[in-house]
């Protein structure tokens, strides 16, 4: 858990959790998501990281937590979305290719690293060329720089 149980149910942070935030171990988004999960998901659950970009919130979590966070028919995700005022997507933490496919909603043919900048080039079949992909969003979620080519 990113927050202690007291802070999960409070509007302020204890000195311990405050220190974690000051040291960059948790972000403001982590705090908001932790509290929203506490309010909406009735069982203990956790997430790996959460990223905000424009009006979207992406929660990366382990496979076992994804179902819980999403809830029956997407019930929990809708509540989290309402609480935080953002569109929420839940992405399972897995290999790079699988995660990119989940985010983009299209199969990835391959990923090549382009030197010298080490930008990661995602190759996608040209049938999917209309997909909307924001490299900034990908970078925030994955921690690497990407561009997309269709072939």
1 or 114: whose CB is closer to Zn ion? 1
* Least distance to Zn ion, CB of residue 109, Å: 45
* Least distance to Zn ion, CB of residue 121, Å: 42
28 or 75: whose CB is closer to Zn ion? 28
* Least distance to Zn ion, CB of residue 49, Å: 19
* Least distance to Zn ion, CB of residue 60, Å: 22
Handedness of CA 86, 80, 95, 124 (dihedral sign): negative
Cα torsion through 107, 45, 56, 92, rounded to 10: -10
23-55 CB burial, b ≥16 within 10 A, e <16 = eeebbebbbbbbbbbbebbeeebebebbbbeee
Picking from 56, 32, 18, the residue whose alpha carbon sits closest to that of residue 134 is 56
7 or 138: whose CB is closer to Zn ion? 7
10 or 149: whose CB is closer to Zn ion? 10
Please give the residue ranges that form the binding site for Zn ion (CB under 5 A): 4, 7, 14, 17
Phi, psi of 34 (to 5 degrees): -60, -45
């Amino acid at each position: 858990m990113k927050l202690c149980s007291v802070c999960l149910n409070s509007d302020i942070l204890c000195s311990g959790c405050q220190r974690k935030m000051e040291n960059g171990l948790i972000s403001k988004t982590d705090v908001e998501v932790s509290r929203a999960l506490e309010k909406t998901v009735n069982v203990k659950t956790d997430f790996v990281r959460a990223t905000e970009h424009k009006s979207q919130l992406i929660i990366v979590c382990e496979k076992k937590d994804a179902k819980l966070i999403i809830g029956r028919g997407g019930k929990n995700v809708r509540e989290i979305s309402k609480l935080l005022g953002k569109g929420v997507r839940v992405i399972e933490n897995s290999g790079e290719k699988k995660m990119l496919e989940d985010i983009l909603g299209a199969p990835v043919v391959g990923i090549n690293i382009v030197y010298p900048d080490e930008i990661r080039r995602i190759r996608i079949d040209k049938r999917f060329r209309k997909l909307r992909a924001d490299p900034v969003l990908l970078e925030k979620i994955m921690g690497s720089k990407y561009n997309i080519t269709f072939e």
